[in-house]
Amino acid sequence: MTSTSLAAPATTPPGRTDADRLPSLTGLRWVAALLVFGFHAGTMRIIAEPGHQAVVGEIFTLGLSGVQFFFILSGFVLVWSARPGDSRRRFWRRRLAKIYPNHLVLWVLAMLAMLWFADPINPVAALENLFLVQAWDPRPGYFYSVNNVSWSLSCELFFYLCLPLALPAVRRARPWMLWAVVIAVPLLIVALWPGQTLVPEQSRWWFAQVFPLVRSLEFWLGVAAAELMLRGRWRGPRLPLASLIFVATWVAASLWIRAEFWSALLSVAYVLVIAAAADADVHGRRSPLRSRPMVWLGEVSFAFYLVHVFVIMTILRLTGDWGTGLPGWWGPLAVIGFLLLTLALAGLLHRYVEQPMMRRLAPPRAAPGGAPRPLASVGSPAGALPLQRAPQGDADPTTYAEQDRTVHPGR
């Protein structure tokens, strides 16, 4: 293996093929995207009636953590799909081919909208956003510039740059080191609350919510969990129980738990449900996340994430309802309308930009050299029994164009 190749996993149980898929994780991408949409629906003043607004706000209080969900999922899927014969350059090129065309389209549309509404344009902030480095700039108006949700792509780009460099060490790490990462990340997230007092007050939100180094904690949590599963060392609940833990954590955090503990608790719930969904696919257990509608929704979730704020903001400004909201039941109906419209536009963006540009720009996958890629031994009671490819149920395997597709709103 050359120094520029992605490392092979530490163990190589027989039986894995490159056709293996984790469609339930694709379905989870839609869950994460919907959480973010709900959060913005509750905070962008679509609904004027206080009672209706309170209901949406109560349900999606923690919706912003959908980005955290994406980051953990991204780390998990990229480690799961890494091939030992792949080079760093090819990996980076595929990642850019995945995220940049959609980003560029939304950047152009957002800039045109700013010109239409005669908004002031900061050229430095616009260029930072164009090249996806805006999350490194703590100045207000810079990290949330142009299409403001693209700050998370700036973080993802940093994760993509780091992973091929770190993966050889991840593959060599002892299991206890990987478990230490899984345990330490939620604790470090809690420590951010007192830790942010060391940062100037005007930069604390940026530091805790946007700064790529801080947000990479969630990505590395997914990386460690995936590597443990590949080695058959992961221990966690199956999908029904993990889903129950997820819902219970969400409800408890919303109602009774102090805000400084939300992210840490949700990171645990998210990694449990991600690992459990992967386990269900590998073992062929029932998973509603693997249904054809959920897989399609997951496929378009990246485009949906990039489009939704732009669509909501532009239409509300055109109708004169920006900042005031729509009265009575028109507000909730508008939320549903925005959801359906954004989903339709995301489907078009996915089909006519994302997919063709991936085919045109991404390099062909290199054939792995040496040992075959391992089939995950996911938490079997015996410890490390090699698993066979999971049946895909009613999901069409031909819809999975890339095993390592980005799970962000990234991926």
**323 pLDDT tier (thresholds 50, 70, 90):** confident
C-alpha 239: how far from its chain's center? 19
Measured CA to CA, the distance from residue 98 to residue 225 in angstroms comes to 24
What was the pLDDT predicted at 342? 97
Measured CA to CA, the distance from residue 376 to residue 388 in angstroms comes to 9
Which tokens is 122 given? 């900061």
Q: Are 331 and 325 in contact (CB under 8 A)?
A: yes
* Residues paired with residue 326 on neighbouring β-strands, in sequence order: 47
- Residue 17's SS3 state is coil
CB count within 10 Å of CB 93 equals 14
**20 pLDDT tier (thresholds 50, 70, 90):** low
Among candidate residues 219, 224, 240, 232, the one with its CA nearest the CA of residue 181: 224
What was the pLDDT predicted at 158? 97
Q: Are 404 and 258 in contact (CB under 8 A)?
A: no
Tell me the pLDDT of the chain averaged across its residues: 85
- In Å, how far are 18, 215, 289, 304 from 23, measured between CA atoms? 14, 25, 7, 18
Residue type, 89: R
What was the pLDDT predicted at 5? 59
CB count within 10 Å of CB 213 equals 12
Q: Are 238 and 276 in contact (CB under 8 A)?
A: yes
**pTM for the model:** 0.85
CB crowding 299-327: b at 16 or more within 10 Å, else e? bbbbbbbbbbbbbbbbbbeeeebbeebbe
* For residue 270, pLDDT beyond 60: yes
* For residue 56, pLDDT beyond 90: no
Measured CA to CA, the distance from residue 207 to residue 200 in angstroms comes to 10
Residue type, 215: R
* For residue 194, pLDDT beyond 50: yes
* For residue 249, pLDDT beyond 80: yes
Measured CA to CA, the distance from residue 175 to residue 186 in angstroms comes to 18
**4 pLDDT tier (thresholds 50, 70, 90):** low
Residue given tokens 């951010």 in the structure block:
192
Between the ranges 16-30, 41-55, 131-145, 390-404, where is the mean pLDDT highest? 131-145
* For residue 311, pLDDT beyond 90: yes
What was the pLDDT predicted at 397? 27
SS in 3 state form for 218-252? HHHHHHHHHHHHHCCCCCCCCHHHHHHHHHHHHHH
Length of the chain in terms of residues written = 411
Least confident of 6-10, 20-24, 258-262: 6-10
Residue 102 or 364, more confident? 102
* For residue 146, pLDDT beyond 70: yes
Between the ranges 41-50, 80-89, 146-155, 249-258, where is the mean pLDDT highest? 146-155
- Residue 131's SS3 state is coil
What was the pLDDT predicted at 52? 86
What was the pLDDT predicted at 365? 61
Measured CA to CA, the distance from residue 41 to residue 125 in angstroms comes to 25
**334 pLDDT tier (thresholds 50, 70, 90):** very high
* For residue 225, pLDDT beyond 80: yes
Farthest CA pair distance, the chain: 65
Among candidate residues 254, 339, 257, the one with its CA nearest the CA of residue 30: 339
Which tokens is 229 given? 């599963």
Cβ neighbours of residue 244 closer than 8 Å, sequence gap 6 or more: none
* For residue 8, pLDDT beyond 90: no
Query: Within 13 Å of residue 230, how many CA atoms lie on the same side as its CB?
Result: 29
Least confident of 47-61, 115-129, 151-165, 397-411: 397-411
* For residue 401, pLDDT beyond 60: no
Q: Are 269 and 245 in contact (CB under 8 A)?
A: yes
pLDDT tens-digit map of 355-376:
999 999 888 765 544 433 443 3
